[in-house]
């Protein structure tokens, strides 16, 4: 099934604000990294700033060592 947001960058951006991909620390319950993503957990790296992008790559590289496998959460509405 084709992705309806593939041709609409605005829709993809709106989708990314509805969910977050969370990397929870394996050793410190209060430590985690979270990034905007779509419902499937796909992070739009071109939408991240340099610091955020580096943090995402860091957390992703340390899954199984310092961080649990990331999970997708629906973001709370303000």
Looking at residue 17, its pLDDT comes to: 67
Inter-residue contact 17 to 75 (CB < 8 Å)? yes
* Residues 23-30, mean pLDDT to the nearest whole number: 96
* pTM given for the model: 0.75
Phi, psi torsion values for 53, nearest 5 degrees: -60, -45
Looking at residue 1, its pLDDT comes to: 45
Given a cut of 90, whether residue 30 has pLDDT beyond it is yes
Dihedral sign (CA 47, 20, 38, 69)? positive
């Amino acid at each position: 099934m084709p992705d309806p947001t593939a041709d609409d960058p605005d829709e993809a951006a709106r989708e990314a604000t509805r969910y977050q991909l969370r990397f929870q620390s394996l050793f410190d319950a209060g430590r985690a990294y979270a990034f905007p993503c779509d419902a499937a957990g796909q992070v739009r790296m071109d939408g991240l700033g340099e610091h955020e992008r580096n943090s995402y790559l860091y957390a992703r590289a340390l899954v199984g060592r310092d961080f649990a496998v990331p999970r997708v959460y629906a973001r709370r509405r303000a």
